[in-house]
Chain A
């Protein structure tokens, strides 16, 4: 179907075939035809289900109606009222989960970006073993998420895991064997896993960005007598701005929406690691209250939209997508 073996030169015209006439109407429709498959897929899997989800959030869709969900009674904004009422237990837990997720996201995005930048800058110059290190750093990103998390789950086991063996028995940093997957330490466990998985992506992106910075800019700055730190702040970081803008947004969205980590790591996440996606999943699937779960999801989407639009609005995207 895709013949990629031909060279880039112009293909030979088939003999006897007339040069195609210009057909303005078709030409006008062509971009839309090219977009059609993408549009259909997006509509079917993203847009329409999202609208259905928004509709469901207005229904009392509980266990009594999932069989005939079209007959679920209309509840207006009742589900939203429960979700945002922070005096009630449902709203209180949702707020707590939201704040926990914000905290986790802030730490994870910060650390991942910092690690990625550091490694990318330090690996800018050739030295023996550079290629090997670069490859190694990418492995966590290439690893399927669930195998990575399952490995960490094993490492965080209280009595058979590596983490306690290392920290307590060998380095003697902690006394006794604490739990990592129960109680407050689960926050740290989730952060460590997410950073481990995501910083390679930051590294990869920043490395790609650095490659597009012309070397003569560095030379010019170096001739002016700029030190390493000045080069970083005066040349590298400003030129990485466009890359960083996208990178930080992607890291934010990935971390904030992450479901797999908490789902694979815990059977039921402790309060300190109750990330918002799994919180909503549990709120709807375990208690079978899908109206309420949908309302929470819509609120989450609204938040993400506000953040993203605000973020992009600050540094208004110029160029092709404007």
Chain B
């Protein structure tokens, strides 16, 4: 019978492969001469991250004799991986994270806190630009992390499109931004005023915070969430109206979730302006747009600012680095943190990512004296506020971010999104926050 032959063959082949395969995946125990470093994805691909970090970590190895095992982790996986590491105690020695998660992760107790003695080993508090230290953990506690890369929001605008539309200057107020966007918009030519990462929940959360603050909103008061306050509704409305009422955003943007899409469209001149973090400078360049073809300004504020409104054009964004408490090689881990936050490394790494150094000396380098970087520095210094550093911050981003994302989808589908809708959705998020916490 033929079937029997086939089975025998298949079984044989499988056996060979299985015996070859079993016992795979051995792990290495921590020793004083090795470290594991989890780096979140900063570049345009995981590979690019490896190419940038590889030589630097080699340098570290030459200096200290400590070999670093690098793993670059994509954002979709990062929180799960950190969770796995936290609950198992089996994690990397050093890892970096989005700085807004600092207080949430600090609350798990899985990370070495940077008390005075510890932070002294990585250059002391004085090493870092003070504003970057505001988003490293809950207030009143020693930082859970130290800053690694700085980021801030800015308004990117395409100079050529502005000139074609007869616009001489970038907008100075939010009202001007909307008016300019309308002039730039021409749906027939598939050209729009503003580009948006509509399906990214983190962007949604950041803008809700930013525009909410401009309208006077406070996300948490006395530990209680206030996502559905009139000021928050007005803030979210301000953002959504770009797409819904003013129609200066391509509805297709509601599907956009990663930077590649929006950066490519911006470089191709499909829209005139985008509000995005500083890392975009690297991506825009890679998409073939020269540095002098676009400008970067602070995201303009409404004029006059609504009652109680604050001058917030960005949150204090960035990437923090921390040491896992279970690390078998804490000294080595701190040496790596010290190395990565040293002025020389700060210059190399931040230039590669398009992010901002977190130590002042790095700005001596002419690479960080471009107009764009000047703008971002100014935003961080004058118009940035720290997202609430409380354990529930990660949930705020998820809940409010997804609410904004859902509203954008509605607006893109042509459904009217009014204050009542926004309020009821935000109220839902608020209740979930209370129930889940």
Contact = CB atoms under 8 A, between A and B. Distances in A.
Contacts of B395: 286-288
Nearest to A64: B107
A62 B254 CA distance: 32
Contact of A287 (B5, B107, B108, B398): B398
B402 A288 contact: no
Q: Among A157, A270, A286, which residue has the most Cβ atoms of chain B within 10 A?
A: A286
A90 B108 contact: no
B409 interface: yes
A69 B87 contact: yes
Determine the interface band of chain A, counting residues with CB < 8 A from chain B: 35 or more
Interface in B254-304: 254-255, 257
B432 interface: yes
A183 interface: yes
Given A67-B109, A270-B406, A90 B398 contact: no
Contact of A285 (B8, B79, B89, B110): B79
Contacts of A181: 255
A182 B412 CA distance: 9
A66 B255 contact: no
A179 B436 contact: no
B391 A89 contact: no
Interface stretch (A1-9, A25-33, A165-173, A200-208): A1-9
B11 A292 contact: no
Contact of A63 (B11, B89, B104, B252): B104
B224 interface: no
A271 interface: yes
B435 A4 contact: no
A179 B431 contact: no
A111 B4 CA distance: 37
B11 A4 contact: yes
A178 interface: yes
Given A67-B110, A270-B409, A288 B394 contact: yes
Nearest to B201: A268
Interface in A72-90: 82, 88-90
A82 B431 CA distance: 12
Interface in A163-220: 177-179, 181-183
Given A67-B110, A179-B409, A285-B79, A158 B435 contact: no
Interface residues of B, number: 43
B191 interface: no
B244 to A, nearest CB: 14
Contact of B409 (A5, A88, A93, A182): A182
Contacts of A294: none
B413 interface: yes
Interface string B1-37: 0001101100100010000000000000000000000
B370 interface: no
B62 interface: no
A282 B87 CA distance: 18
A222 to B, nearest CB: 34
Interface in A288-310: 288-289, 292
Contacts of B4: 4-5
A42 interface: no
* A contact patch SS: loop
Given A5-B4, A159-B252, A183-B410, A285 B83 contact: yes
B436 A287 contact: yes
A286 B410 CA distance: 23
Nearest to A182: B409
Contacts of B254: 179, 182
B199 interface: yes
B86 interface: yes
B431 A88 contact: yes
B391 to A, nearest CB: 7
Nearest to A289: B436
B428 A4 contact: no
Contacts of A178: 413
A67 B89 contact: yes
A4 B7 contact: yes
B8 A4 contact: yes
A11 to B, nearest CB: 15
Interface in A227-285: 267-268, 270-271, 285
Nearest to A286: B398
Contacts of A267: 76, 199, 201, 257
Given A4-B4, A287-B395, A67 B432 contact: no
Contacts of A268: 201, 402, 405
Given A63-B108, A66-B86, A90 B412 contact: no
Contacts of A69: 87
Nearest to B405: A268
B80 interface: yes
Given A90-B436, A182-B409, A64 B391 contact: yes
Given A66-B86, A268-B201, A271-B406, A183 B15 contact: no
| Top 10 closest pairs, chain A to chain B, by CB | A182-B409, A89-B431, A66-B87, A4-B8, A89-B432, A286-B398, A183-B413, A89-B428, A90-B435, A67-B110
26 contacts: A1-B11, A4-B4, A4-B8, A4-B11, A62-B437, A63-B104, A63-B391, A64-B109, A66-B86, A66-B108, A67-B86, A89-B435, A93-B432, A157-B255, A159-B252, A179-B413, A181-B255, A182-B409, A268-B201, A270-B409, A286-B395, A287-B394, A287-B395, A287-B398, A288-B394, A289-B436
Given A63-B394, A82-B435, 5 more contacts: A4-B4, A66-B87, A183-B413, A285-B80, A289-B436
